[in-house]
Structure 1
Amino acid sequence: MQSKILAVYTFNELAAPFLADRNKAYRDVEPGAFAAVEQCEGFIARSGYRGEDGPASWGSMVMPKCWENLNGDGWAPVTLLLWTSIEALIAATYHGYHGHAYRLGHQWHIRAKDIPSYVLWWVPEDHRPDWAEAVGRYEGLLDNGPSASAFSFKQVFDPAGRRTNPDAQKVQLLAGRITPAPTQD
C-alpha cells in the first residue's frame, strides 16, 4: 500500500481590500509565516500562486462557491500545503511565528459562522493536489460535513479512513522544536 500524506487547503476572506491600511499587519506577517511554516518538521511542500515569486502554482486558481468577494478586490487569502502528519500540521499552525500570525487573524479576516476556514484530506505521497481538487474537498466539507475525504481538526480521520485523534504528545514534541515567535517590544 502506498504511503499517504496530509493535504490542507485554507480559505479566508479579508475584511478590507488587500492593499488597505487595515491589512498592513497581514501583509507584514504573511512572508514570515510562510517561511516559518516551511522550516517546520513535517512540512513537505506548498503551492505558490501564478504570477508571483516563490513555489510553482499547482494549477489554476479556483475559489469556493461560498466566496462572496466581500471586500471587492477579487482576492482572498488561500493556501494549499502538504504535511507528513496531522500532528506536524497542528504544531506548525498553533506555535511559533505562524501561531503568532494565526492569533492576529481576527484583525483582518471575516469570520463566517458556518463556513470552514480549512479542509484536510489524505493523498498518495507522490500526488500534488491542484487548486480545483482542494476547492472540491473544501466544498465537500462545507456541504456534507466531515468525512474521511474532507475533515478538520475537530473530527480527524487517519489515512485508512478511520476516525482518530491526533497524538497530543507528538504535537507537543514537534511544537517544542519550532522556533518561538519574536517577542513584541
Structure 2
Amino acid sequence: MPIAQINVARFRRAKADPANQPFMDALDHVNAKADLADGFIWRLVGEGDANDATAIQAVAGDAEFIVNLSVWRDVPALEAFAYRQADHRAVLARRGEWFAPIEPSLALWEVPEGHIPSVVEALDKLAQLGRDGPSAAVFTFRWWRENRQG
C-alpha cells in the first residue's frame, strides 16, 4: 500500500534570511532526485513555477513554518531516499543550522492507491501522532521498523 509522509520545519530566522540560502539552493536538486527515485509517486509543490512547497502557508500567521508532503510506493522506498540518497542526507545533516526543533516533525501513514493527501489531512496526521503516539494509523520510521510484519 502507498505511504504518505509529512515532515515540517520552522526556520530559525526569516525564510529569506541569507543564512537559509544553502537550504533554498539545495531544494531543486534534492527534489529532482526525489522525483526520479524508485518508488516516488507524488510531492506537494507550490503554485505556478514553484517546484517546492516552501511558499505554501500551511499554518496561518506562521510564515517560517514549511511543510514537505509526498507519497511513495512503500516505506522502504521512502526510507531509502530519505536516509541513503547522498544529497538528501547532506541536507538532513545540516537541518539544525536552519530549523528550530519541532516534535513531532515527521509522520507516515498508509493511503489508498491514487490518493493525494491534502495539507490539512497531513497536519491532522502529524497532530494525531503527537497526541496519541505511533500506531498502525500514523507512525514513524522507527515504529514501522519495530512493528512491520515479515
TM-score normalised by structure 1 residue count: 0.71
After superposing on structure 2, the runs of 4+ consecutive aligned residues of structure 1 that deviate more than 6 Å are none
Structure 1 residue 38: deviation in Å?
1.2
Shift of 1:98: 1.0
2:42 aligned residue: 45
2:98 maps to which of 108, 111, 115: 108
- Does structure 1 retain, via aligned residues, the 8 Å contact 2:57–2:65? no
Return 5+ residue gaps in structure 1 as ranges: 168-185
Could you say what secondary structure the match of 1:18 adopts? coil
Residue 146 of structure 1 pairs with residue 134 of structure 2: yes
TM-score for both structures, normalised by structure 2: 0.87
Aligned residues with identical type, % of pairs: 24
User: What's the counterpart of residue 148 of structure 2?
Assistant: 164
Greater fraction of residues in helix: 2
2:58 aligned residue: 62
Query: For the structure 1 residues 81 and 142, does the alpha-carbon distance in structure 2 shift closer, same or farther, using more than 3 Å as the test?
Result: same
Deviations 1:9-67, CA, capped at 9 Å, x for gaps: 11011100111011111111111111111111111111112355248x8xx8533xxx9
Contact 1:61 1:131 in 2 (8 A): no
Distance in 1, matches of 2:16 and 2:51, equals 20
SS, match of residue 137 in structure 1: helix
Deviation at 1:75, TM superposition (A): 3.1
Identify if the C-alpha distance between structure 1 residues 34 and 79 changes in structure 2 by more than 3 Å, giving closer, same or farther: same
Following the alignment from structure 1 to structure 2, what is the Cα–Cα distance between the partners of residues 86 and 147?
15
**Contact 2:39 / 2:77 at 8 angstroms: preserved in 1?**
yes
RMSD: 2.5
Cα distance in 2 between the residues matched to 1:130 and 1:122: 14
Letter in 2 for 1:19: A
Tell me the equivalent position of 1:126.
Answer: 114
Q: Which residue of 2 aligns with 1:180?
A: none
Structure 2: gaps of 5 or more residues: none
Number of matched residues?
Answer: 147
Counterpart of 1:147 in 2: which secondary structure?
coil
Residues 61 and 126 (structure 1), Cα distance of their counterparts in 2 relative to 1, 3 Å cut: farther
Change (3 A) 1:61 1:130: farther
Q: Which has the larger radius of gyration?
A: 1
